Amino acid sequence: MVSERLKLLREKSGFTKKQVSHVLKMTPEGYGYYESGHRSPSPETISTLAEYYGVTTDYIHGLSDTPTSRSEDIDNKELNIPSELQGKLVAFNRGEFEGLDQDEVDKLAEYSAFLKSQRKG
């Protein structure tokens, strides 16, 4: 169940294995073992991934079908945040873009749009 949830979360959030492995400070291949079920992530890794995606550890373990706690879910609904953006907002809130000026943030948005257009084309 963990491997399936990790793959689902990564794909739903639009991240690559390389991006997620970078957060975990491991190789994309090593992270791939988690998604394929060949290795099990440590409790610390599960916690890091839960924070990264903005979900509970119970959701990753398959103990809950609700990705977020009730209070987080209410907050996200009130803010009308699409589920595919919630993990990215968590990464943003964790300070991964700290120190970037508005021009640099705009360039990141442009690059993101470019990458998405390349997938479709």
CATH number at residue 114: 1.10.260.40
Q: What is the pTM of this model?
A: 0.58
Question: Two tokens at 16?
Answer: 């690559």
Backbone phi, psi, residue 113, to 5°: -65, -40
> Which residue ranges in the chain fall short of pLDDT 50?
70-77
Q: How far apart are CA 58 and CA 74, in angstroms?
A: 18
Q: How far apart are CA 64 and CA 24, in angstroms?
A: 24
Q: What is the pLDDT of residue 60?
A: 94
Q: What is the pLDDT of residue 74?
A: 43
Q: What is the pLDDT of residue 71?
A: 42
Question: Two tokens at 32?
Answer: 């791939």
Q: What is the pLDDT of residue 8?
A: 93
Question: Which residue intervals of the chain are DSSP H helices?
Answer: 2-13, 17-24, 28-36, 43-53, 57-61, 70-79, 83-93, 102-120
Quote the number of domains for the chain: 1
Q: What is the pLDDT of residue 90?
A: 53
> Could you tell me the residue range of the domain that residue 35 belongs to?
1-121
